[in-house]
Amino acid sequence: MIIQITMTRNELFLIKEMMPLWQKYADAFVFMDDRSTDGTFEYLTENKERFNILNIIPSNSTDTELSIESTTRQRLYDEAYKHSGKIICLDTDEYLDGTINKTQLNELLENNKDTLIHLQWIQYTGTNQIRTDGPWKYNFKDRLASYTSRGVFKLSQMHSEHLPVPAKQGVINAPILFISHLQWLDKPTVAVKQYYWKILDYITRNKYKADTIPVTAYDDSVNNFNWTYENFSIPLKVIPNIYSMHNILTSYKYKFIKESIEKYSIPNLNN
């Protein structure tokens, strides 16, 4: 059995579209819900049998203490490992796609035990278009692995690995299997998301004295929206304007930015 693990917060509009896509490769699911207020927990609970959702666990994170991402991911991983060592880890704005089917993927994991597999991170900007400037042309991420014993995450406050690193690692190239990433489909959503991380890092540095990545890293990733594009042979499986289904001005990220700037007197972080 292949189990997908996913952390989510207030992304119900995405989950409803992604569940059928995730089922292409996953047999069952374990979710971690990070204090959603948009009906995510209720929807997942109501559809546990329909999608074979094994558990929906709370993140236990708060706004009054430093969150350690690797610890949170360890809880999610451990819950899945109770059921199977074949694990997919995806963010809510990602799904796997490719030319192989679930049976072939299961056989691949069965024949490559204790192996972490890196997949190409395809950055869709439209139905048949992807972003290819800077680091986005060839970018691989850890989203798939097979374990015969419990894996343990390396300690990371933010930007943790998605899966523990076992004895071996490997790569599968597109179009055989790859990660479809939706982040760059909507530029206002990108702007809010990246500025949200700037604000969160600012608070983390000043309140907890924790190390964070430079503010410029978020600017570099957006690159002033001066992107280059290429056509891609496998079309996007969701509507390209999927983010229009969500009012970004009511999102928790946008509210967090507005409230935090006032609460902590945060200066302009180069927007």
Structure tokens at 50: 């329909």
Quickly tell me which residue has 């800077």 as its tokens.
134
Which pLDDT score is estimated for 131?
A: 98
The pTM (predicted TM-score) of the whole model is 0.95
Bridge partner list, 56: 31
The 3-state DSSP class for residue 120 equals strand
Contact 1, 27 (CB under 8 A): yes
Q: Is 48 exposed, middle or buried (0-12, 13-18, 19+ CB in 10 A)?
A: middle
Which pLDDT score is estimated for 46?
A: 98
Q: For each successive 10 residues of the chain (271 residues), what is the average pLDDT?
A: 97 97 98 95 98 94 76 96 98 98 98 98 98 96 98 91 97 98 97 95 88 90 96 97 93 95 93 66
What span, in angstroms and rounded, lies between the C-alpha atoms of 256 and 190?
15
Contact 59, 83 (CB under 8 A): no
Domains of the chain and CATH, by start: 2-181 (3.90.550.10), 187-264 (no CATH)
Structure tokens at 113: 């035990």
| Residue 151: closest CA among 179, 178, 113 | 113
Q: What sign for the dihedral angle of Cα 192, 196, 197, 198?
A: positive
